[in-house]
Amino acid sequence: MTTSENLFARAQQLMPGGVNSPVRAFRSVGGVPFFVKSAHGATLHTVDDRELIDFVCTWGPAIHGHNHPKIKAAIGAALELGTSFGTPHPAEVTMAEMIVRFVPSIQKVRMCNSGTEATMTAIRLARGFTRRDKIVKFSGCYHGHSDSLLIKAGSGALTHGHPDSAGVPAAFARETIVLPFNDIAALAAAFAANPQLIAGVILEPYCGNVGFIMPDAGYLAKVRALTAQHGAVLIFDEVMTGFRIARGGVQEREQIVPDLTCLGKIIGGGLPVGALGGRAEIMDYLAPIGPVYQAGTLSGNPLAMAAGIAALRLLEDDGSDLDPYQRLDRLGRQLRDAVLAAARAKGIAVQVPQCGAMFSIFFTDTPVRDYATALTSDAALFARFFRACLDGGVYLAPSAYEAGFISTAHDGAAIARACEIMTQAIANL
């Protein structure tokens, strides 16, 4: 028995499914999950003394790779001053200034502890601001596990075949309207059928939790126009895409200005964090000056703020001659092209949507543009591909319905070796 197998056997006696987050259990790809003892750059080091090139990157935050020396130093310096204060401190202000400077739509920001908390607060704020109850979300988009949003969800819920969750009251579900992504007619029809009842529309502008899916040309602009026309709050969930697709997220790239934006992942530099920001008139509805309550003892934690500030500063200048986002897109295209070429040579249908540092691999001949077309991907074939990659030394998300992530640390030998392993995995399918 390997060390990972032994640990997993012990964990299953102590934790539901042996894990603290469902996808980690490897249920959809088979086998026993490995346990990690350390990570550096683009590489995970397991307790079984294996080295794996990592394309999960802590599900997004590790845009500079693991254990970056500048982020590590920032955490160490903050640690010397204390772990948690429960009071305002200077790093919160610095982080807020950076977010407002980077993200086009954000005038004011509230720090919290997770992406789930950020989206949950955004929904409450949209309802409080508009005095309406209904929320629109899109099939396959995952916005955390709060009750209003865990309906037709992606991520682990989809991976394990349960896009709805037990424990969500039917009354809550009735206030959530679920529509297909990339279908503007469906959104227009929802507004027509619910006049003056929809508080907000929340979406991942580039989907990452049903695999990586791009919007059709002009789709986001039409969503923006419809929400403005009907007085609904437009919420961009950029927990994954914020600072990863561009410094200002998808909204910078697409030139769309949402009313509220949810952030996380990178602004914690690998530590737990979330944030909500947007138009000042909406944000001012939050307590203590507004009627919408939100609080958190660890919100704006000094260690998380220090790590996040260091991570964001590296996105402005990481010491290389090429802009970090140009480097990341070059690496993404290199990986995409290698997979597509290998699949063509083997005669296997595959779709590899990619933008910058995010990508997915769908085994289907159908272009993937929404939840329904994502489900045409051959999950069993993906599981075989996943196992072959893992055996060769590449770790992809253990689900056919998750995005992959690339870091600046993948540059050079890591990306070249990963492309070789993935090409060989496809050749052996």
CATH number where 338 lies: 3.90.1150.10
* Rounded CA separation 95/37 (Å): 30
pLDDT of residue 87: 95
CA-based nearest residue to 159, from 296, 66, 21, 292: 21
Please give the Cα distance from 46 to 49 (Å, whole number): 5
Is the domain of 185 the same as that of 295? yes
Give the CA diameter of the chain.
Answer: 62
**What are the structure tokens assigned to 112, written together?**
């919290």
| Domain co-membership, 260 together with 152 | yes
Q: Which of 397, 381, 385 is nearest to 421 (CA)?
A: 385
Please give the single-letter amino acid code of residue 368. Answer: V
**Which domain, by its residues, includes 356?**
3-64+321-427
So what's the pLDDT on residue 158?
40
Residue 64, SS3 per DSSP: coil
Q: Mind giving me the DSSP string for 94-138?
A: HHHHHHHHHSTT-SEEEEES-HHHHHHHHHHHHHHHHT--EEEEE
The domain that holds 156 is classified in CATH as: 3.40.640.10
The last residue of a domain, from among 263, 282, 316:
316
Q: Which residues are CB-neighbours of 357 under 8 A, at least 6 positions away?
A: 63, 244, 245, 325, 328, 329, 331, 332, 405, 406, 407
Q: Is the dihedral of CA 369, 372, 377, 380 positive or negative?
A: positive
> 75 and 32 in contact (C-beta within 8 Å)?
no
294/337 same-domain check? no
User: Is cis: bond before 16, omega within 30 of 0?
Assistant: no
3-state helix, strand, coil in the chain (%, to 5): 40, 15, 45
CA distance 305 to 82: 13
Residues 150 and 276 in one domain: yes
Domain boundary residue, one of 284, 316, 348: 316
Determine the number of helices (DSSP H) and then strands (DSSP E) in the chain. 15, 14
Q: Taking a C-beta distance cutoff of 8 angstroms, is the pair 278, 234 a contact?
A: no
Contacts of 259 (CB under 8 A, 6+ apart): 105, 126, 200, 227, 233, 234, 235, 278, 279, 282
If asked whether residues 254 and 396 sit together in one domain, one would say: no
* 168 and 78 in a common domain: yes
Same domain membership, residue 195 and residue 300: yes
Q: 172 with 309, same domain?
A: yes
Rg (CA), the chain: 21
Q: Taking the model in full, what pTM does it have?
A: 0.94
Return the number of other C-beta atoms located less than 10 Å from residue 21's C-beta.
Answer: 10
Which residues belong to the active site?
Answer: 142, 237, 265
pLDDT at position 141, please? 86
Q: Are residues 237 and 333 in the same domain?
A: no
Alpha-carbon distance values, 372 to 20, 343, 368, 410, 422 (Å): 28, 23, 8, 32, 26
Strand 260-264 with 274-278, pairing: antiparallel
- Other Cβ atoms closer than 10 A to 366: 14
Specify whether 47 is located in the same domain as 132.
no
pLDDT tens for the 429 residues of the chain, in order: 899 999 999 999 999 999 998 889 888 898 999 999 999 999 999 999 999 999 999 999 999 999 999 999 999 999 999 999 999 999 999 999 999 999 999 999 999 999 999 999 999 999 999 999 999 999 888 887 766 665 554 444 444 334 466 767 777 778 889 899 999 999 999 999 999 999 999 999 999 989 999 999 999 999 999 999 999 999 999 999 999 999 999 999 999 999 999 999 899 999 999 999 999 999 999 999 999 999 999 999 999 999 999 999 999 876 677 789 999 999 999 999 999 999 999 999 999 999 999 999 999 999 999 999 999 999 999 999 999 999 999 999 999 999 999 999 999 999 999 999 999 999 999
Considering the domain architecture, whether residues 191 and 294 belong to the same structural domain is answered as: yes
Going by C-alpha positions, the residue among 242, 238, 258, 262 that lies closest to residue 315 is 242
**Eight-state DSSP code of residue 290:** S
Query: Looking at 296, 316, 336, which one is the last position of a domain?
Result: 316
The rounded distance, in Å, linking the Cα atoms of 200 and 149 is 12
* Per-residue pLDDT, 162: 42
How far is the first Cα of the chain from the last one, in angstroms, to the nearest whole number? Answer: 27
Q: Is residue 285 domain-shared with residue 328, that is, in the same domain?
A: no
Domains contained in the chain, number:
2
Degrees to nearest 5, angle at CA 203 with 199 and 209: 145
